[in-house]
């Protein structure tokens, strides 16, 4: 069971170490952080700073080498793989840099995929996706396959996919990296709107200044460790 009063994310002395031949590389270096529900947070830093790895650890896609991680009050480090899959399904939404829509599914089917996995009935799925599509300007594109959508449209479908199942948090890894300025701005507007209107918690891994500027909280990472953690007023 998740605890609605608990923070969306909490990590405690998290390390992630990779072994390359005889060398140990600490991609995440003793990170302790708490992200409250409803936050709009950016993990910023140059390539190799460990932001994507930390995002993957928080999302249960990879296990920390040391330390503990809680998502919506649940300790990920104690979970089996199927339990992690269940947690990702119910509590975490993902937006990837390369959109990563399933090419054999339409925009509508992609957006409702997590809800299909959750067993939500067709009417409810259609209602939720329909409303979100309308809100972010994808109305009328439900039947298109990803190959027939622009990069910005695909990323917006990915955003709908990440929030439609009502997760505790959405993890977005460089969501604007493949988009031009206009598409990036439009996408960030949509995400901010969803954050403000629906209270969805967003955590970005980014080195895009436009993303950093829009986030209320900016966590800077260098060499796998948190260098600074600032909240804008």
Partner 1 sequence: MSGGAWWRIGWRNLERHPKRTVITALGLGVGYFAVVFLVGWMEGIAAEMVENATGLVSGQVEIHHADYRPERSLYDTIGGRDGIDVEATVAEVLADPAVIAAAPRVYGGGLLSSGESTSAGMLMGIDPDLETRLSRFLDELVEGRLPQVGQNEVVIGAELARQLESGVGDELVVMAPGADGSLGNDLFRIAGIYRTGLTELDAAFSVFALEDLQILLTLDPGRIHEVSVSTADPWIAQETADRLAVALTGGGMAPEVVPWTELRPEMVEYVSLIDSFYFIIFAVVFLVAMFGVANTMLMATFERRREFAVMLALGTTPSRIVLAVLYEAVGMAVISLLVGAAVTFPLMIWFHNAPPDMGWLYGELTLMGALMRPSLRVEYNFVIWTQAAFALLATAVLAAVYPAVRAARVPPADTLSGS
Which residues contact partner 1 by CB under 8 A?
A: 52-53, 56, 59, 61-62, 81-82, 85-90, 92, 94, 96, 100, 102-105, 113-114, 116-119, 161
Length of the chain: 233
Distance of closest approach, residue 59 Cβ to partner 1, in angstroms: 7
Q: Which is nearer to partner 1, 11 or 214 (CB)?
A: 11
Distance of closest approach, residue 64 Cβ to partner 1, in angstroms: 12
> What's the CA gap between 60 and 48, in Å, rounded?
20
Q: Contact at 8 Å (CB) between 37 and 7?
A: yes
Q: Note every long-range contact of 71-77, with CB atoms under 8 Å and residues 24 or more positions apart, other chains counting.
A: 71/8, 71/9, 71/168, 71/169, 72/2, 72/3, 72/4, 72/6, 72/8, 72/168, 72/169, 73/2, 73/3, 73/5, 73/6, 73/7, 74/1, 74/2, 74/3
Distance of CA 157 to the CA centre of its chain: 14
Q: Which is nearer to partner 1, 170 or 214 (CB)?
A: 170
Q: Which is nearer to partner 1, 117 or 183 (CB)?
A: 117
Q: Which is nearer to partner 1, 54 or 194 (CB)?
A: 54
Distance of closest approach, residue 165 Cβ to partner 1, in angstroms: 9
Distance of closest approach, residue 113 Cβ to partner 1, in angstroms: 6
Residue 142: CB partners within 8 Å, gap ≥ 6?
Answer: 106, 107, 108, 129, 130, 133
Backbone angles phi, psi at 167, to 5 degrees: -80, 170
Distance of closest approach, residue 13 Cβ to partner 1, in angstroms: 20
Distance of closest approach, residue 195 Cβ to partner 1, in angstroms: 20
DSSP H or E stretch at residue 133? helix 122-135
Q: Which is nearer to partner 1, 85 or 231 (CB)?
A: 85
């Amino acid at each position: 069971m998740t605890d609605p009063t608990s923070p969306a994310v909490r990590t405690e002395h998290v390390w992630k170490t990779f072994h390359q031949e005889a060398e140990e590389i600490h991609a995440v270096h003793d990170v302790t952080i708490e992200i409250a529900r409803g936050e709009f947070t950016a993990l910023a830093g140059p390539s190799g700073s460990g932001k994507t790895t930390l995002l993957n650890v928080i999302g249960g896609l990879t296990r920390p080498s040391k330390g503990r991680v809680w998502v919506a009050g649940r300790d990920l480090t104690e979970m089996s793989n199927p339990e992690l899959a269940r947690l990702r399904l119910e509590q975490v939404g993902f937006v990837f840099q390369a959109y990563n829509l399933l090419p054999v599914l339409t925009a509508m089917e992609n957006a409702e995929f997590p809800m299909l996995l959750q067993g939500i009935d067709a009417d409810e799925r259609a209602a939720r996706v329909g409303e979100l599509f309308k809100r972010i300007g994808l109305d009328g594109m439900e039947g298109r396959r990803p190959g027939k959508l622009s990069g910005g449209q695909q990323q917006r479908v990915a955003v709908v996919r990440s929030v439609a199942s009502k997760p505790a948090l959405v993890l977005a890894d460089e969501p604007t990296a493949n988009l031009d300025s206009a598409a990036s701005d439009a996408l960030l507007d949509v995400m901010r709107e969803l954050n403000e209107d629906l209270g969805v918690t967003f955590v970005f891994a980014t080195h895009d200044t436009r993303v950093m500027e829009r986030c209320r909280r900016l966590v800077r990472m260098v060499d796998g460790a948190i260098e600074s953690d600032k909240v804008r007023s």
